[in-house]
């Protein structure tokens, strides 16, 4: 449902989720990987580099003196892989080699494993995560339950309560007590499907052999219900939701919603949130026009949508307030030629079933919109917080300064500072390599 006016009340919409079913899980194959702890280096092996002037006899004598029984020279570079005698420890051999004048350096033969690849069967269809180099990102930083992200939306399918059901693919996701502004209770259950989809982008159960992955899995989620079953709500209610999150330990607020004019009430609640050290992220809107509010506020990170080609999605709003872009998809295209529409793939429940009061008809859906671009940015903000950057301005700067510049060189109104680059953002300050 789009924005509506009821008298003098501005109604804000969660942009509709156009969806299509994911193919049956049996249609994909999953590579099983070992989860056993990995030793740091190979026992009984060290790498040694000798000075260029070292004679072969000197090299052989040095290898024997340090406990080596065999050696293989690298084809390029000239280093030696030395096999040690049984009983000779790697640290002792490295120390012995390093004490020799003819040795430039010596080190253990470290062990590496292929980057973390979740075993969720739908992960190969999540082109958005591949485009953001999520596997490398996860090797640098994963989420943590100590970082709470508030989803200010239609609620989340996070519990079995009355007619509502918990979505099956949350894995070990942590949910903290939220707020239903509409009913005044703590049961912020989703009766629309939009909020569940948004939350799944951030923290869907990952590497649990089920469904698909979430970008900042293990981060905690706080459901804040400010929009009704029809996907609409008022700025007054949204402001209350933001204030609740501000007072309850949230680090990131995601708002995949928007209206057409500025609200002092909502601006003040956002000011309080940012003043409390919270990163506030909002979707730019889906009318191919000017940036909606609250995204247009200066202290909110306004997020536009790109497609598989990294081009601005045709619906994505743009303008001088745009900060960043992230994958939002385009269901009218299949540029990756996987036989499915180029939407963002996550879990939620069927909207038509929800209209009949059935909230347990869960599946995996492809959706497009800036609603689904924004939580990619919220997820990255949560990972940056976990890594140790706690100031909202610094987190925003880290994302903007490392974004991939798209469109006109430099910041522009179509792409803002560019598309988020999680790997660069998370290594940019040298906190974690």
> 395-407: per-residue pLDDT in tens?
999 999 999 999 9
Q: What is the pLDDT of residue 92?
A: 96
Residue 192 has pLDDT above 70, yes or no: yes
The percent of residues in the chain predicted with pLDDT above 90, rounded, is 79
Two structure tokens written together for 211: 């469904």
Tell me, what DSSP letter sits at residue 114? P
Query: Does residue 386 lie in a domain region?
Result: yes
CA distance 59 to 381: 52
Q: Are residues 202 and 99 in the same domain?
A: no
Q: What is the pLDDT of residue 339?
A: 87
Q: Are residues 304 and 423 in the same domain?
A: yes
Q: Are residues 176 and 53 in the same domain?
A: no
Q: Are residues 105 and 189 in the same domain?
A: no
Query: Does residue 357 lie in a domain region?
Result: yes
End-to-end CA distance of the chain: 44
Q: What is the pLDDT of residue 220?
A: 98
What ranges in 213-345 are assigned the alpha helix state H?
235-246, 264-275
Residue 213 has pLDDT above 90, yes or no: yes
> 116-128: per-residue pLDDT in tens?
788 999 999 999 9
Q: What is the pLDDT of residue 78?
A: 82
Q: Domain boundary residue among 85, 110, 135?
A: 110
Q: Are residues 84 and 205 in the same domain?
A: no
Residue 7 has pLDDT above 50, yes or no: no
Q: Domain boundary residue among 67, 94, 110?
A: 110
Measured from the Cβ of residue 344, the count of other Cβ atoms closer than 10 Å reads: 30
- CATH number assigned to the domain comprising residue 136: 3.40.50.200
> 63-91: per-residue pLDDT in tens?
999 999 999 998 777 899 999 999 999 99
Two structure tokens written together for 40: 């740091």
For residues 116 and 33, is the Cβ–Cβ distance under 8 A?
no
Who wins on pLDDT, 64 or 26?
A: 64
Q: Are residues 161 and 288 in the same domain?
A: yes
> 35-61: per-residue pLDDT in tens?
455 577 889 999 999 998 889 999 999
Q: What is the pLDDT of residue 395?
A: 97
> Can you tell me the mean pLDDT for 328-345?
92
Residues assigned a catalytic role: 153, 194, 371
Mean pLDDT estimate for the chain: 88
Query: Does residue 274 lie in a domain region?
Result: yes
Query: Does residue 1 lie in a domain region?
Result: no
Number of domains comprising the chain:
2
Q: What is the pLDDT of residue 392?
A: 97
Residue 25 has pLDDT above 90, yes or no: no
What ranges in 204-309 are assigned the alpha helix state H?
235-246, 264-275
Q: What is the pLDDT of residue 159?
A: 97
Question: Which residue in this structure is represented by tokens 């012995």?
Answer: 96
Query: Does residue 351 lie in a domain region?
Result: yes
CA distance 147 to 218: 9
Residue 98 has pLDDT above 80, yes or no: yes
402 Cβ contact partners less than 8 Å away, ≥ 6 residues apart: 420, 421, 424, 425, 428
Sorting pLDDT into bands at 50, 70 and 90, what band is 11? very low
Q: What is the pLDDT of residue 367?
A: 92
Query: Does residue 396 lie in a domain region?
Result: yes
Q: Are residues 388 and 268 in the same domain?
A: yes
The domain in which residue 97 lies consists of 42-110
Q: What is the pLDDT of residue 37?
A: 57
Q: What is the pLDDT of residue 3?
A: 26
Query: Does residue 10 lie in a domain region?
Result: no
Who wins on pLDDT, 355 or 78?
A: 355
- CATH number assigned to the domain comprising residue 81: 3.30.70.60
> Can you tell me the mean pLDDT for 202-224?
96
Q: Are residues 188 and 263 in the same domain?
A: yes
For residues 422 and 134, is the Cβ–Cβ distance under 8 A?
yes
Query: Does residue 16 lie in a domain region?
Result: no
Q: Are residues 134 and 53 in the same domain?
A: no
Q: Are residues 289 and 413 in the same domain?
A: yes
> 246-301: per-residue pLDDT in tens?
999 999 999 999 988 888 999 999 999 999 999 999 999 999 999 999 999 999 99
Q: Domain boundary residue among 93, 110, 127?
A: 110
Residue 22 has pLDDT above 70, yes or no: no
Q: Are residues 142 and 99 in the same domain?
A: no
Q: Are residues 133 and 51 in the same domain?
A: no
Secondary structure class of 307 (helix, strand, coil):
coil
Question: Which residue in this structure is represented by tokens 């430099």?
Answer: 410
Who wins on pLDDT, 12 or 44?
A: 44
Residue 178 has pLDDT above 50, yes or no: yes
Question: Which residue in this structure is represented by tokens 């293989």?
Answer: 72
List the Cα angle 211/180/163 in 5-degree steps: 55
């Amino acid at each position: 449902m789009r924005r509506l006016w009821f008298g003098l009340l501005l109604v804000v919409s969660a942009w509709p989720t156009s969806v299509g079913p994911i193919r049956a899980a049996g249609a994909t194959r999953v590579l099983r990987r070992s989860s056993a702890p990995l030793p740091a280096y190979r026992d009984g092996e060290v790498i040694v580099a000798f000075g260029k002037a070292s004679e072969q006899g000197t090299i052989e004598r040095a290898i024997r003196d340090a406990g080596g029984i065999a050696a293989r020279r690298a084809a390029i570079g000239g280093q030696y892989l030395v096999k040690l005698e049984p009983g000779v420890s790697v640290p002792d051999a490295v120390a012995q080699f390093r004490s020799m004048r003819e040795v430039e350096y010596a080190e253990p033969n470290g062990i590496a494993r292929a980057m973390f690849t979740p075993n969720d069967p739908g992960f190969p269809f999540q082109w958005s995560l591949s485009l953001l180099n999520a596997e490398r990102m996860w090797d640098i930083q994963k989420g943590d339950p100590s970082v709470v992200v508030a989803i200010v939306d239609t609620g989340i399918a996070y519990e079995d309560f009355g007619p509502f059901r918990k979505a099956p693919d949350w894995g070990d996701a942590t949910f903290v007590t939220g707020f239903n502004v509409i009913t005044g209770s703590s049961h912020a259950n989703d009766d629309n499907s939009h909020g569940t989809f948004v939350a799944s982008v951030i923290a869907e159960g990952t590497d649990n052999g089920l469904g698909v992955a979430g970008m900042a899995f293990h981060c905690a989620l706080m459901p804040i219900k400010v929009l009704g079953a029809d996907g609409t709500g008022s700025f007054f209610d949204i402001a209350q939701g933001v204030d609740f999150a501000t007072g309850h330990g949230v680090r990131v607020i995601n708002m995949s919603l928007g209206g057409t004019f500025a609200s002092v009430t909502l601006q003040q609640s956002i000011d309080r949130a940012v003043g409390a050290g919270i990163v506030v992220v909002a979707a730019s809107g889906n009318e191919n026009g000017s940036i909606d509010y609250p995204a247009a506020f200066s202290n909110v990170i306004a997020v536009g949508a790109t497609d598989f080609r990294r081009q601005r999605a045709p619906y994505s709003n743009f303008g001088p307030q745009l900060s960043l872009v992230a994958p939002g998809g385009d269901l009218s295209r299949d540029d990756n030629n996987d036989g499915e529409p180029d939407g963002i793939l996550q879990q939620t429940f069927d909207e038509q079933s929800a209209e009949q009061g059935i909230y347990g008809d869960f599946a995996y859906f492809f959706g497009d919109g800036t609603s689904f671009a924004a939580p990619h940015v919220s997820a990255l903000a949560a990972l940056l917080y976990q890594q140790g950057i706690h100031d909202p301005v610094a987190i925003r700067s880290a994302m903007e300064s490392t974004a991939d510049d798209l469109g006109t060189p430099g910041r522009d109104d179509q792409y803002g500072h560019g598309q988020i680059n999680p790997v660069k953002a998370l290594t940019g300050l040298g906190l974690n390599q």
